[in-house]
Every structure is written in C-alpha cells, then in structure tokens.
Amino acid sequence: MRFGQVRSIRFFGLTLFLFLCGGLLSAQSPQIPVVDGGLGSCRADFTVKDGSDKPIYNAKIHVLIKYGFLSKRKTELEVGTNSDGKASVTGLPNMPKKPLEFTIKSGTVSKSISDDPSDNCRAKFDVTLTVY
C-alpha cells in the first residue's frame, strides 16, 4: 500500500468517527434543573412558555415553604428553567399546613400558581407567561 492511500483511509476513519460522535452529542436534550427542599417526597415539574408557545429560558420559579411550630421555620427555593423551559422542585412537604404558592417570573412578567402537595404529590404545570 502506498503512503497516500493509508493517509486517506486514516482521514476517512477520523471523519466518520467525529461525525458519529457529534450526532450522539447533539441528540441529547439539556438537563432539567432541579432544586431540592429536603422536606418530603413530593415534587412539582414546570414547563414555562411564552404567548407564542416557545419555551422561556431562565424563567425563575420561586416558592416559600413555611413549616414547624407556628410556621416559624422557612425554606425559600428558586430555580431557573433550561433552554426547553423546564425545571423541577423536589423535596416538597407531603402535608403542608397551607397550599404552596409558586411564583414564576421572566423579566417583568410573573404568574402565581397554588398547589397543595397533599392532594397532588407529583404535580405538573404548563405555564404560559404573556405580556398584555
């Protein structure tokens, strides 16, 4: 075999390898951001979109959880959405005294959603933020 043929075979093999690896890497969806409250086994999954049904990146989801004697203890949680507009809040209490109030905010637009984990422990919310 001549040196030129070996070189072209190596180049073709390397190109094929990089093409296959690049296809595998681009096929993965972005990781969903998760924040854990550590107070129970319930969770809430969010998908945040704008008025034209496009996902909103880095929309902030905030919740204040009050618990303990006379609700003196507080845990504040906040997570931002990924490029698909998705985020999760885990470790929510199974039996809160009052329903949890989630505030979803992106820029100047915000929306509040109430959820009682004792009724729906694995909640899923599709939130649309629109500017009026």
pTM value is 0.76
Confidence of residue 6 (pLDDT cuts 50, 70, 90): low
SS (H, E, C) 40-102: CCEEEEEEEEECCCCECCCCEEEEEEEECHHHCEEEEEEEECCCCCEEEEEEECCCCCCCEEE
pLDDT score at 19: 64
The set of residues, in sequence order, having a beta carbon less than 8 Å from that of 102 and lying 6+ positions away, is: 44, 46, 61, 62, 63, 89, 112, 113, 114, 115, 125
In the predicted model, what is the mean pLDDT of the chain? 86
The set of residues, in sequence order, having a beta carbon less than 8 Å from that of 69 and lying 6+ positions away, is: none
pLDDT digits (tens, 9 = 90+) for 70-87: 888 899 999 999 999 999
| pLDDT at 96 exceeding the cut of 80 | yes
